[in-house]
Amino acid sequence: MLAATLTAALGFSPGVTRLPNGFAGTALSQHALTPVASRSAASSGLESVLAPLLEQQQQQQQQQQRRALRAPSAAMVATGGMGGGLFTQSNPEDRRVVPDEPGDRQIFKVVYVVLESQYQSSLSTACKRINAGQEKVAVECSGYILEELRDPANFEQFKKDVADANIFIGSLIFVQELADKVVEAVEPYRETMDAVCVFPSMPAVMRLNKIGSFTMASMGQSKNVMLDFMKKNKPSGTSFQDGMLKLVRTLPKVLKFLPGDKAKDARSFMMSLQYWLGGSPENIEALLLNLASTYVFESDLLTGEVVEPPTVIPDQGIWHPVAPRVFETNEEYIQWLRNEHAPTIGVDPNKAPVIGVVLQKSHINTKDDAHYVALIMEIEANGGLVLPIYTGSLDFSKPIEDYFFLNGRSVVDTTINLTGFALVGGPATQDHPKAIATLKKLNRPYLCAVPATFQTFEEWKDSELGLHPVQVALQVALPELDGAIEPIIFAGRDGVTGRSIPQSDRIETLAKRAIKWSNLSAKKNADKKVAITVFSFPPDKGNVGTAAYLNVFGSIFEALKTMKAEGYDLGAELPTDVEGLVDAVLHDKEASMASPTLNVAYSMSVAEYKELTPYAEDLEENWGPPPGQLNTDGQNLLVYGVRFGNVFIGVQPSFGYEGDPMRLLYAKSASPHHGFAAYYTYIEKVLEADAVLHFGTHGSLEFMPGKQVGMSGGCYPDRLIQSTPNLYYYAANNPSEATIAKRRSYANTISYLTPPAENAGLYKGLKEVGELISSYQGLRESRGASIVNSIVATARTCNLDKDVDLPSEDFDTAELTLDERDIIVGKVYSKIMEIESRLLPCGLHTVGVPPTAEEAIATLVNIASIDRPEDEIDGLPRILARSVGRDIEDIYRSANAGNLDDNLLSENIKEAIRAAVRASVERSTDAAGRVTEVNPMMASLGAVLGGGSPMLSALKKQGFDKVQDPDLEKLFGYLEFCLKQVVADNEMGALIEGLNGEYTLPGPGGDPIRNPLVLPTGKNMHALDPQAIPTIAACDCAKVMVDRLLERQVAEEGEYPESIAFVLWGTDNIKTYGESLAQVLWMVGVRPLPDSLGRVNQIEAIPLEELGRPRVDVVVTCSGVFRDLFINQMNLLDRAVKLVAELDEPLDQNFVRKHALEQAEEFGVSVRDAATRVFSNAAGSYSANVGLAIENGGWEGEQQLQEQFTSRKGFAFNADRPGILDDKADMFKSSLKKVDVTFQNLDSSEISLTDVSHYFDSDPTKVVGSLRTDGKKPSSFVADTTTANGQVRTLSETVRLDARTKLLNPKFYEGMLKSGYEGTREITKRLRNTMGWSATAGAVDNFVYEDANDVFIADEEMQKRLLETNPNAFRDMVTTFLEANGRGYWETSEENLDRLRQLYAEVDDKIEGL
């Protein structure tokens, strides 16, 4: 728990001795007190020792703030919302203690606030002991869990209690908006209270401390013995928490030597801290009586005796609930474990797996250890042994180093961290590199289980959201940066007593999973069973083996070869090539999905299914009795796939409702069907797999209904995966969905590389236009007019007139001046260069095959083209522009406007970059065209006959002769590092390590161009600290894009839009560090701010005069993944909208307020409630199902798609009630019908509008058009930041660009066809997604379908290639063309339609074997 960790961190247990049974007991007498100190004692010198620590803490926080965002201004600031509907409904009155019979005793009043409830039981018991045992005094005590202060009624009562209090105690107040509330309540009464004790918390709360003359603020006090001692022992180079810890640890050595009249108030504070850390009722009783005796009452009214100095238990050790003592060496413990304990419980120590468990010391001190005992007993009951360690430090790596190794070798098979924290550090600071180094040395799976402490365990069970967002950020997201997996909730607090309650079913799951992970390192490879799972999405025979940019069967073939070499049993016959593997899984590529000719690996009777699947009955509500209609032959449930010895390759069943219009409309997703459940039952119970490997991005398991984070036993991802360790290949550029897989299906992810991006190039008519422009440059003055006429005519045949304003067909450009002709040519050139330089991933990646030198060059060109101000590295475009006396932004701006000279200069810069990067990589390229060893790029500068580096020579050949090697040194030094990352490869290595039960190194996911630390792949991918975004850089980029969007809209419509609909994606915000999040804030005129720990969770309204325009209203649709990862940022957005809605500003300058006032009247609610603008799916549900409907053809019309969107995406987030997402579909529609503009972002070249269905699935363009009362279609824009020259284009422009660079581009489709079966499917997918944009936005031009038909259907040779490689995918392509025509999206000739109908019949007959 949070409290346990920081309190344990300070490391004392005063008055505690070790009892024979190993539990901590107390040596204090019932009324034990330290000597009473005078209230007028001189000020202590301790502050001057603590002062440097406080100053150091402030400096660390200031550095974090500078890294995060600018400091707050005095403008309108909001730090939190109001209202109920919270994550915890526990009642502070339950812990109020009043004396039963006070009589004439003097009463002192205590108020406490703690982050969680760990101390609740001890405080209540301590107060009752005082009231029962003291003759002259009694105590009244009221206590609050920090989270309860969000409730206005609780907060008002808290302020009343504080106003009457003698003593206030606070601990671990690390949530900014709640820290503000504590300061607001306590500060006015600080001087009148007798004592204020605050233990480690936010700085503003720490400053409330007041023990007599001791405060945190007073500096430069008089010298004394303690000051001299502590100055000598002042720690350096530490965090505030560990610095304070080291000082406190030295205190017992000098306390007994302090003169009685010196430093008494400081000593009282430090003694109070020690008693607090002891945690037991006896220690808390001593704390309260000490404070009352010294600071509340004038005379000694108390009964008691002097106590000995505190006895300290070992600061770290090995604790087992039935051991005779705490062990301080692992040799002693292992001897006891093997010789005494293991025989007693009937476990063979030579065969049993050993689970290392990391505990919190304070739970042992306070005896709040039932959850620890339960897990240890469960592991032992399952045949394991446990090595449970604890420490009083925030650095849990030290006891791992001390106790989990013996003679340099690991003695544990799996590690479970039960502290709920990152391995090194507390809630404010972490040291992930140190943690990773320790865990890599240990090299065992690292599980981080979580106690639900911000809610009661009943509230967690009842919550659809699951774990509290603050706890997710601190206790799930941060441990993931260390490489932690499996955030299983193993305990929760009791709502009345505050004690930890073990969750028996979760503890059983955790124990079984830990033992299964351990077995991987113990079993021989020949005995291990592995289930490789592939996906079929959408469910069709032509789609088996779906994954983003991955050659799935080629990769599995490589994996099987590697596994065989590692000693795995793959049976007698393994396919000799990839085609053989595909045939083995599909049995017959030309069979339909419904046909039994798909290879059946296992037929499960209904009786067996029911016996082995305990939740089968729960599925009947949605799917009826088994076997149902899916994955069945009518009698049995069928598991599709094939076995090779101990390795099973299976096809994961689909969601099941793809083609059912009614199910697609459900606001919440349905349970898995019987066939889906049977598949995972087979893996766990029949095959008894030691591990499952999910192959590629992505399947359905992690998106099944259940809580967002913190699964219960009723959540379907948990029910399905059961106890099987889950390894999961996930695309490196998709950290958000990978994180969902980690948290919801307990995946240990392994990142794989997406194909390198290359320039799209020019082809056919576009290439002809480019050649004409090249000839124009040399003949512009002699034959210029005729060439321009040809350029215009050819541009029209390429449909460039949709993007460029061209003269009419019969206009002769000879009538124009030379400059006017240059402008036309410049605009056409700008457009074709935009197409030519567009980056597209070529082909599909195969796991375990590192990129070639050519592919590495393509990646490095993109890396070299970006400025990296955080590393003080200018991109090569900026360096080259500077060398010719220009600014690169000016060149981009001028080229975009159609200036021919600057278009040519821009193109020359791109060519020069390619040449220079190629020259740098050629130094390291071997004869096979691969980079095996990277040579220094900038070595021997000037050694080549004084001509400088190869890169410099290449640039000079391109005409950039003023560049010098020193200008290039820093950039190419960085590129050398990047090249090493690019060519390193551990994708296959990480799989084998995972199957060996070893630790997978963690690493960030995202765009490898923006963040090369994503490379090398083969890492356990994580996202980022959700409280770290948006960054300053993201805010700066966001402002540029928003300003460009508004400028374009004003130019085209003559006025500012009143409302803009945004879509927020998880992966995009990880890659860009919150750019689209910052766009929303800038649109409404709000600035994000960091708190005192650098976490971005505050906001302020930007004054209208500074904003310089109206505040534009927003409607924000968050993807389900964004909701899961960034619910704290949804809170930020909602608070921002509410903040500006409540500002008293002119309505023509504040459209948020204007619309909120209208909706307040419409719905009869307050303006604050009417300002609801942040929407998503219901908890545990994902997407609008629009993509599913279009991919499967299961939709009746656009009205159905629009209803799906509003019903599934209409769940509102409310910062005043953050514990639930309310169904607010009516408010959603009311807000959407005021929208003038719809807006999305593209942030990387790998995933564009037609690569995935997500973008059109969440696009509200036609929804808005149908809701608006004026019938006006909204404008639609897309911000493209895939290159340094960021653009805002219309949606139609972007779809055209996507079609020209991918679907219609020979470079793209020929690259895909090289991958055979899977490549054909990828081409068909692009066509289907293109039709999605017709359905949701009407954004596809007729020529796109017409040209695609010419490429893939009219060409008989192409028909044949597609049919032979993947007949099912080709049939889907033909179907898509016919559907596009039938739905009115494509007008074409009857000849084309007849050909398509004939083709469909022929392909269908071939597939059915007729």
pLDDT at site 404: 97
pLDDT at site 716: 94
* Range with lowest mean pLDDT among 74-88, 455-469, 944-958, 1153-1167: 74-88
Pair of tokens at residue 1327: 């066509």
* Range with lowest mean pLDDT among 281-285, 324-328, 347-351: 281-285
Nearest to 469 by CA among 1217, 1343, 1093: 1217
* Range with lowest mean pLDDT among 72-86, 355-369, 826-840, 1228-1242: 72-86
pLDDT digits (tens, 9 = 90+) for 55-83: 444 444 444 443 333 333 333 333 333 33
Nearest to 1281 by CA among 1268, 1271, 1294, 1272: 1294
Pair of tokens at residue 1012: 């090369």
pLDDT surpasses 80 at 687: yes
* Range with lowest mean pLDDT among 342-356, 1304-1318, 1319-1333: 1304-1318
Report which secondary-structure segment, H or E, holds 1372.
helix 1367-1382
pLDDT surpasses 50 at 594: no
Cβ(997)–Cβ(693) below 8 Å? no
**Mean predicted confidence (pLDDT) in 775-780:** 82
Who has greater pLDDT, 264 or 1210? 1210
pLDDT digits (tens, 9 = 90+) for 826-839: 889 888 888 888 87
Sign for the pseudo-dihedral over CA of 846, 849, 855, 859: positive
State phi, psi for 270 to the nearest 5 degrees.
-70, -35
Q: Give the DSSP letter string of 127-158.
A: HHHHHHH-SSEEEEEEEEEGGGGGSHHHHHHH
Q: Which letter does DSSP use for residue 544 in this model?
A: B
Residue with tokens 């820093």: 970
Pair of tokens at residue 426: 């507390």
Residues 6+ apart with CB under 8 A from 1196: 661
* Range with lowest mean pLDDT among 58-72, 968-982, 1107-1121, 1179-1193: 58-72
* 1090: confidence class by pLDDT, cuts 50, 70, 90: confident
Q: Which letter does DSSP use for residue 872 in this model?
A: T
The C-alpha torsion from 913 through 916 and 918 to 924, rounded to 10°, is -140
Q: Which letter does DSSP use for residue 1030 in this model?
A: S
CA distance 1164 to 1172: 14
* 1001: confidence class by pLDDT, cuts 50, 70, 90: very high
Distances (CA, A) of 839 to 708, 1015, 1089, 1244, 1298: 35, 19, 35, 9, 10
Who has greater pLDDT, 355 or 797? 355
The C-alpha torsion from 655 through 658 and 660 to 664, rounded to 10°, is 90
For 636, what's the count of Cα atoms within 13 Å in the CB-facing half-sphere? 13
Q: Give the DSSP letter string of 276-310.
A: HHH-SHHHHHHHHHHHIIIII-SS------B-PSP
Q: What is this structure's pTM? A: 0.80
Nearest to 203 by CA among 243, 181, 174: 174
pLDDT surpasses 80 at 938: no
* Most confident region among 66-80, 185-199, 596-610, 1192-1206 by mean pLDDT: 185-199
CA distance 458 to 576: 55
Distances (CA, A) of 731 to 537, 737, 991, 1118: 16, 9, 14, 22
pLDDT surpasses 50 at 39: no
* Range with lowest mean pLDDT among 234-243, 911-920, 1341-1350, 1375-1384: 234-243
Report which secondary-structure segment, H or E, holds 106.
strand 106-114
pLDDT at site 22: 28
Cβ(731)–Cβ(1017) below 8 Å? no
Residue with tokens 């499996």: 486
Helix spans in 1085-1150 (H)? 1104-1107, 1120-1125, 1127-1141
Who has greater pLDDT, 1348 or 944? 1348
Helix spans in 728-780 (H)? 735-745, 764-779
> What are the beta bridge partners of residue 387?
356
Secondary structure (3-state) at 602: strand
Report which secondary-structure segment, H or E, holds 839.
strand 839-841
**Mean predicted confidence (pLDDT) in 655-667:** 61
Q: Give the DSSP letter string of 609-668.
A: HHHH-TTGGGGHHHH-STT-SSSBSSSEEEEEEEEETTEEEEE----S-TT-HHHHH-SS
Report which secondary-structure segment, H or E, holds 508.
helix 504-522
pLDDT at site 86: 58
Classify residue 1092 as left (phi > 0), alpha (psi -120 to 50) or beta.
alpha
pLDDT at site 1285: 77
The C-alpha torsion from 823 through 825 and 830 to 833, rounded to 10°, is -160
pLDDT surpasses 60 at 1384: yes
Secondary structure (3-state) at 385: strand
The C-alpha torsion from 1304 through 1306 and 1307 to 1311, rounded to 10°, is 100
* 397: confidence class by pLDDT, cuts 50, 70, 90: very high
**Mean predicted confidence (pLDDT) in 442-467:** 87
pLDDT surpasses 80 at 547: no
Pair of tokens at residue 1074: 């919150």
Cβ atoms within 10 Å, residue 271: 24
In 1053-1109, DSSP assigns E strands to 1059-1064, 1086-1090, 1096-1101
pLDDT at site 939: 61
Who has greater pLDDT, 684 or 1179? 684
pLDDT digits (tens, 9 = 90+) for 150-208: 888 999 999 999 999 999 999 888 888 889 999 999 999 999 999 999 988 888 898 89
* Range with lowest mean pLDDT among 553-557, 762-766, 1138-1142, 1158-1162: 762-766
Residue with tokens 């309204």: 1101
pLDDT at site 274: 79
* 17: confidence class by pLDDT, cuts 50, 70, 90: very low
Helices 888-896 & 818-836 angle (0-180, nearest 10): 110
pLDDT at site 20: 26
pLDDT at site 173: 87
Residues 6+ apart with CB under 8 A from 849: 558, 985
Pair of tokens at residue 648: 């099973």
**Mean predicted confidence (pLDDT) in 199-218:** 81
pLDDT digits (tens, 9 = 90+) for 1031-1051: 888 888 899 999 999 999 999
Residue with tokens 């042994």: 385
Pair of tokens at residue 675: 């066939």
pLDDT surpasses 60 at 54: no
Cβ atoms within 10 Å, residue 774: 11
State phi, psi for 425 to the nearest 5 degrees.
120, 170
Distances (CA, A) of 998 to 79, 125, 517, 805: 44, 46, 9, 61
For 1273, what's the count of Cα atoms within 13 Å in the CB-facing half-sphere? 10
* Range with lowest mean pLDDT among 47-56, 334-343, 1140-1149: 47-56
**Mean predicted confidence (pLDDT) in 1291-1307:** 93
CA distance 1389 to 223: 97
Residue with tokens 């820290």: 179
* 699: confidence class by pLDDT, cuts 50, 70, 90: confident
Cβ(935)–Cβ(1324) below 8 Å? no
CA distance 959 to 973: 23
Nearest to 357 by CA among 348, 339, 369: 369
CA distance 1152 to 296: 52
Sign for the pseudo-dihedral over CA of 738, 744, 750, 752: negative
pLDDT digits (tens, 9 = 90+) for 1313-1360: 988 888 898 899 999 999 999 999 999 999 999 999 999 999 999 999
Q: What angle do CA 1277, 1280, 1284 make, to 5 degrees?
A: 150
pLDDT surpasses 50 at 439: yes
pLDDT at site 1007: 83
Report which secondary-structure segment, H or E, holds 721.
helix 716-721
pLDDT surpasses 60 at 44: no
